[in-house]
Amino acid sequence: MKTPVIAEKAPKMLTLEPGTYYWCACGKSKNQPFCDGSHRGSEFTPMPFTVDKKKNVWLCQCKHSKNAPYCDGTHRTL
């Protein structure tokens, strides 16, 4: 089973505009919580997600959320 790198044990709150975003699933991106291509050559792929209207979101950075790309509090148990 592949295990992602924990980028940070806290979510990142962002205000996102409408559009499609790519959440980093491997934890290696230097542009957390978004993908920068660092997963290339691994079993990981970024997770696309769409925002329909401008809103605040809490994105997972521990990479273990069961509700990815959104934080579900799992980072508190790691």
**Cis geometry, peptide bond prior to residue 33 (ω within 30 degrees of 0):** yes
Single pTM value for the model: 0.94
What pLDDT is recorded for position 14? 98
- Alpha carbon distance 39, 50 (integer Å): 21
Each residue of 39-52: pLDDT tens digit?
A: 999 999 999 999 99
Confidence of residue 1 (pLDDT cuts 50, 70, 90): low
- Contact assessment for residue 66 and residue 55, using Cβ atoms and an 8 Å cutoff: no
The CB density around residue 27, as the number of other CB atoms within 10 Å, is 21
What pLDDT is recorded for position 33? 98
Residue labelled with tokens 């542009």 = 31
